[in-house]
Amino acid sequence: MTPGVLYVVATPIGNLADASPRATETLKSVDRVACEDTRTTRTLLARHGIAARTVALHDHHERRASAALIAALREGQSIARVSDAGTPALSDPGAWLVAEAHRAGIRVSPLPGPSAAAAALSVSGFPAERFLFAGFLPSAAAARRKALEALDLPWPVVIYEAPHRIAQCLDDLRARFGDSREILVARELTKKFEEVARLPLGEAAAWLAARSERVKGEFVLVLAPGPAEQRASLDPEKVLALLLESLPPSEAARLAARITGAPKNLLYRKAIK
């Protein structure tokens, strides 16, 4: 008997039209759809006219219920694993079933698609040749502040936060990284009341408080890279040109070198040209 395939299917993070044609085809064709919450997934299935057999596989009993699904896969059935929104296993259940499938020698195939982390990063404008996905920070205040200690990195950091902790989280970020470090606040992405704001941490609390409904909804934060990356993104020649407007060449070159990390001699030669 040829075993079936476990498809790991990303689903929309708000706008149900974001389900890819391949995702909907797969959800239509598999024998079962393993869901986090069957009610949530049924809304998506109904929107695309899919009459699939759903089975609940939420966090609490994923391990127990996985055994039956692995047995079905061994018997040749195909299964799609979805979570309530976005990419399964990414701050969501899903990894256990996938690991069991690997152990059982069953083919696992991804159907990539929406993820709140990638969506927020894509509209941040921060250089993201690399980034850290921090997921949800610890909810206890002391543990959260400790976790922030490790997040001063020269690349962007993506954080998921629950609406009832967003104000506190922004406060903690400001206390740790200072007023001028930028943050991208991405709220209700792909939904009717989507908001994307890139602003200094010192202004984030006021932005959040400016409209009372802002503290509701779903949030992703992207913390700007720390100083090393910011320096790399500055153009030494532009910095030099600005400083030359009010400083002599040697002083402008010295400061431009300190600000951008570019060699002072090189900048001085450009300055006297």
Determine which residue in the list 166, 186, 208, 224 makes contact with ligand SAM, applying CB under 6 A.
186
CA separation for the pair 106, 98 (Å, rounded) = 9
Residues 237, 241, 247, 251: what is their CA dihedral angle, to the nearest 10 degrees? 10
Considering the complex, state which of residue 217 and residue 226 has its C-beta at the smaller distance from ligand SAM: 217
40 binds ligand SAM (CB under 6 A): no
Determine which residue in the list 83, 222, 224, 240 makes contact with ligand SAM, applying CB under 6 A.
83
73 binds ligand SAM (CB under 6 A): no
Fill in the per-residue mask, 103 to 142: x = in contact with ligand SAM (CB under 6 A), - = not in contact. Answer: ------------xxx-------------------------
Q: Mention every residue, 6+ apart, whose C-beta is less than 8 A from residue 98.
A: 6, 8, 81, 89, 108
The letter for the amino acid at 148 is L
Minimum Å distance from CB 130 to ligand SAM? 19
Q: Which bin fits 19, alpha (ψ -120 to 50), beta or left (φ > 0)?
A: beta
Determine which residue in the list 218, 222, 224, 239 makes contact with ligand SAM, applying CB under 6 A.
218
Minimum Å distance from CB 71 to ligand SAM? 26
CA separation for the pair 227, 205 (Å, rounded) = 23
CA separation for the pair 160, 146 (Å, rounded) = 17
93 binds ligand SAM (CB under 6 A): no
Phi, psi of 108 (to 5 degrees): -115, 130
Of the candidate spans 26-34, 47-55, 181-189, 234-242, the one that interacts with ligand SAM by CB under 6 A turns out to be: 181-189
List residues near ligand SAM by CB under 6 A: 13-14, 83, 85-87, 90-92, 115-117, 160-162, 186, 188-191, 218-220
